[in-house]
Amino acid sequence: EEIQHIIEDALIAVIRSTDSELVRQKALEAIGFSMREEVPALIQNAFSSGNYEWIASALFAMGRSADAEKWGLDVLSMLAHPDNHVQREAIRAAGELELKQARKLLIKWIKETKADEAIWSESLWALSKIGGENLIDFFENLLTNAETDEDEFFIQDALDNLLLTNDIAKGFELLDL
């Protein structure tokens, strides 16, 4: 706990420093896991900055926070952002936060954006983390129609992750959580 506090202090100091923006952005991303009371304000400031790189880092930190209640609407609002980097980070954060509201849009992008490999793969992986029983057939259909061995491997990996996600969700249901 003492070491964790030292690390958090160091990351907050870097975020508030005059170091390069990239270093400060990576420090913000790293502290996204922290439950320290000042962290949400740091993330919100970056998100509200108007700077796409800071917004992307804020989305990354939001995904790490495991706080869908606090950040879910902000993440959802960025899913169709015109900047690819921001959009990819929003998709990734939607998966990390398991935002079920993102499912339909992610499915649409998986069906329509194969030309943009990064959006396609990020959407597929996020969907595997969000889960849902009705998604298994969708993933299996993608697997059947995979165009390359690389796609097949990635889809199989995502399907395996989806099955794990669904099994964990069933476990929580059985425990009445």
Give Cβ neighbours of residue 169 (< 8 Å, ≥ 6 apart).
131
Nearest to 122, CA basis, from 83, 80, 89, 86: 89
Q: Look over the chain and give the mean of its residue pLDDT values, rounded to a whole number.
A: 92
Whole-model pTM: value is 0.89
H/E element holding 161?
A: helix 149-174
pLDDT of residue 171: 55
- 3-class DSSP state for residue 19? coil
SS (H, E, C) 40-74: HHHHHHHHCCCCHHHHHHHHHHHHHHCCHHHHHHH
Q: What long-range pairs does 157-162 form, CB within 8 A, spacing at least 24?
A: 158/124, 158/125, 158/127, 158/128, 159/128, 161/125, 161/128, 161/129, 162/127, 162/128, 162/131, 162/135, 162/136
93/126 Cα distance (integer angstroms): 8
For the stretch 91-119, pLDDT in tens is 999 999 999 999 999 999 898 866 688 89
Identify the DSSP state of 31. G
Which pLDDT score, from 0 to 100, does residue 112 have?
83
Q: Which residues of the chain have pLDDT under 70?
A: 113-115, 169-177
**What is the helix (H) or strand (E) element at residue 23, kind and residue range?**
helix 21-30
| Residue 107: C-alpha distances to residues 9, 13, 96, 113 (Å) | 40, 40, 16, 10
CA–CA separation, 155 and 78 (whole Å): 25
